[in-house]
């Protein structure tokens, strides 16, 4: 395993002069590995994660391990060397390519897309490259077309063919007025990269990003190519796991077609930290919040006063996440070959634990009689009911057509999950059964009344 060290700054000159490298900082909890493993364990027990995880501080890995199977039919284990499809983590590499070309004076992020895409309709006259980078163009996303995955996901398309899927549809809003996650925008960015550089997108990222950085286990995923250590993708079904539905990899293109390993993404993290890939001005532009907690190919926010950038990805059979605390020198990467894995949340949690911003909630013991007051069915919508049962000292929730999720008590009437980013609370009085459940998830609070008893 190659241990990577960040470039020594002014504070490390004395150590460098004496021939010693500045030691990487330790994670916030002294028993970080034990706490991290305790956080990962429920995902493994619930069979909701299969993949590889890496956590590092100042370039030195503190946790680096594979979990589950890369190929379930041959019982081949995942390792840190396993290659996974990245899904939308691809977008940060596309954004990097755009910024490289801008540094060379070959384009400006303020250029209208019509300057490079000759078939741009009049409605796109105000759409700029910056709008595409920040998901504020108003152009509809082709992946949101009704029935797209059922009808079109197996057939190859050129970038222009993908753009044509939504080119003649009206804009969803005035460019710059709102934010709406848009895969079509990043297809257009790939088109621009090819137009300006004269190189196919796959060749460009390989030649100008992966090769210079030594990311030898990263590239554009082509299904027909024999690729050593590539994981097979899986999805869930009522009968358990199954092979993921086929997706022609021309379709995600510059929005989601790259593959990598956890080790290569640590190389990527260090390249960004040490300024090896972009100028300081370009990195500042990439990690600026343009009003919607999104920069150029990265989500940008703060966690307990600590700067944080990251991104998740989801593509047939794969779920991914990278979370970075730049000033803390912390990065966590979770790459899964199971489409339902909450990989991005897991990466955020493990990174926050190392940076000292995440403190695992502690479960308390409640009497069985108290827990039984919460057991029942709660109606979130006419088509979705959350059924709550008791199993020992915890509650098990199961939504319509979903798998079971354990919830643990943090206080009477308050429960948290370990394998999803969600909490539930109950409206309840005295010894009577709860009358309603509130689901706290994704920044929203949804109230679900108890279902009426069947006659």
Q: What was the pLDDT predicted at 378? A: 98
Q: What was the pLDDT predicted at 17? A: 30
What does the CA dihedral 407, 403, 261, 293 come to, rounded to 10 degrees?
Answer: -60
Q: Report the Cα 81 to chain-centroid distance in Å.
A: 19
Q: Where do the CATH 2.40.128.20 domains begin and end in the chain?
A: 368-449
CATH of 84-355, picked from 3.30.505.10, 3.30.360.10, 3.40.710.10, 3.40.50.10160, is: 3.40.710.10
Q: Report the Cα 435 to chain-centroid distance in Å.
A: 36
Q: Report the Cα 214 to chain-centroid distance in Å.
A: 23
Question: Each residue's pLDDT tens digit in the chain (455 positions)?
Answer: 222 222 222 223 223 333 345 789 999 999 999 999 999 999 999 999 999 999 999 999 999 999 999 999 999 999 999 999 999 999 999 999 999 999 999 999 999 999 999 999 999 999 999 999 999 999 999 999 999 988 888 999 999 999 999 999 999 999 999 999 999 999 999 999 999 999 999 999 999 999 999 999 999 999 999 999 999 999 988 778 999 999 999 999 999 999 999 999 999 999 999 999 999 999 999 999 999 999 999 999 999 999 999 999 999 999 999 999 999 999 999 999 999 999 999 999 999 999 999 999 999 999 999 999 999 999 999 999 999 999 998 999 999 988 899 999 999 999 999 998 899 999 999 999 999 999 999 889 999 999 987 66
Q: What was the pLDDT predicted at 7? A: 25
Q: What was the pLDDT predicted at 453? A: 74
Q: Where do the CATH 3.40.710.10 domains begin and end in the chain?
A: 84-355
357 by DSSP, 3-state: which? coil
Q: Report the Cα 82 to chain-centroid distance in Å.
A: 18
List the Cα angle 196/201/202 in 5-degree steps.
150
pTM flag (> 0.85): yes
Q: What was the pLDDT predicted at 152? A: 86
Q: What was the pLDDT predicted at 21? A: 58
Instruction: Provide the CATH topology of domain 368-449.
Output: Lipocalin (2.40.128)
Q: Which residues pair with 395 in a beta bridge?
A: 390, 407
Q: What was the pLDDT predicted at 10? A: 27
Contact 72, 390 (CB under 8 A): no
The residue to which tokens 């006419």 are assigned: 382
Give all strands (DSSP E) within 246-297, no chain letters: 258-260
């Amino acid at each position: 395993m190659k241990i990577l060290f960040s470039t020594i700054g002014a504070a490390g000159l004395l150590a460098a002069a004496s021939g010693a490298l500045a030691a990487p900082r330790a994670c916030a909890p002294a028993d970080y590995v034990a706490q991290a493993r305790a956080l990962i364990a429920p995902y493994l027990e619930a069979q909701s994660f299969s993949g590889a995880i890496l956590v590092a501080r100042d370039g030195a890995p503190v946790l680096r391990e594979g979990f589950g199977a890369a190929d379930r039919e041959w019982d081949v284990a995942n390792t840190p060397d396993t290659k996974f499809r990245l899904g939308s983590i691809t977008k940060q590499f596309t954004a990097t390519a755009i910024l490289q070309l801008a540094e060379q004076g070959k384009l400006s992020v303020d250029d209208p897309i019509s300057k490079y895409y000759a078939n741009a309709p009049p409605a796109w006259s105000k759409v700029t490259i910056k709008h595409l980078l920040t998901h504020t163009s108003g152009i509809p996303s082709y992946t949101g077309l009704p029935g797209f995955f059922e009808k079109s996901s197996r057939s190859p398309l050129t970038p222009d063919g993908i753009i044509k899927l939504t080119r003649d549809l009206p804009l969803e809003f005035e460019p710059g007025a709102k934010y709406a996650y848009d895969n079509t925008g990043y297809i257009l960015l790939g088109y621009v990269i090819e137009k300006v550089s004269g190189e196919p997108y796959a060749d460009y990222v390989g030649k100008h990003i992966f090769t210079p950085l030594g990311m030898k286990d990263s590239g554009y995923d082509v299904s027909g190519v024999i690729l050593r250590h590539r994981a097979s993708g899986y999805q869930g079904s009522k009968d358990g796991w199954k092979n993921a539905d086929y997706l022609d990899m021309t379709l995600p293109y510059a929005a989601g077609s790259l593959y990598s390993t956890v080790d290569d993404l640590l190389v990527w993290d260090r390249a960004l930290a040490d300024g090896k890939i972009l100028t300081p001005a370009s990195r500042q532009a990439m990690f600026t919040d343009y009003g919607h907690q999104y920069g150029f190919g990265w989500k940008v926010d703060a966690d307990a006063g600590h700067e944080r950038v990251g991104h998740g990805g989801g593509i047939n059979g794969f779920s991914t996440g990278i979370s970075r605390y730049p000033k803390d020198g912390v990065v966590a990467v979770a790459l899964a070959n199971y489409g339902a894995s909450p990989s991005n949340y897991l990466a955020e949690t493990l990174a926050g634990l190392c940076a000292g911003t995440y403190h695992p909630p502690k479960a308390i013991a409640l009497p069985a009689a108290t827990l039984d007051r919460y057991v029942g069915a709660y109606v979130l919508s006419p088509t979705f009911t959350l059924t709550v049962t008791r199993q020992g000292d915890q509650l098990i929730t199961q939504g319509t057509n979903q798998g079971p999720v354990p919830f643990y008590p943090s206080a009477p009437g308050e429960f948290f999950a370990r394998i999803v980013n969600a909490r539930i609370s109950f409206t309840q009085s005295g010894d009577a059964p709860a009358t309603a459940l509130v689901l706290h998830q994704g920044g929203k609070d949804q109230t679900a009344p108890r279902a009426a008893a069947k006659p």
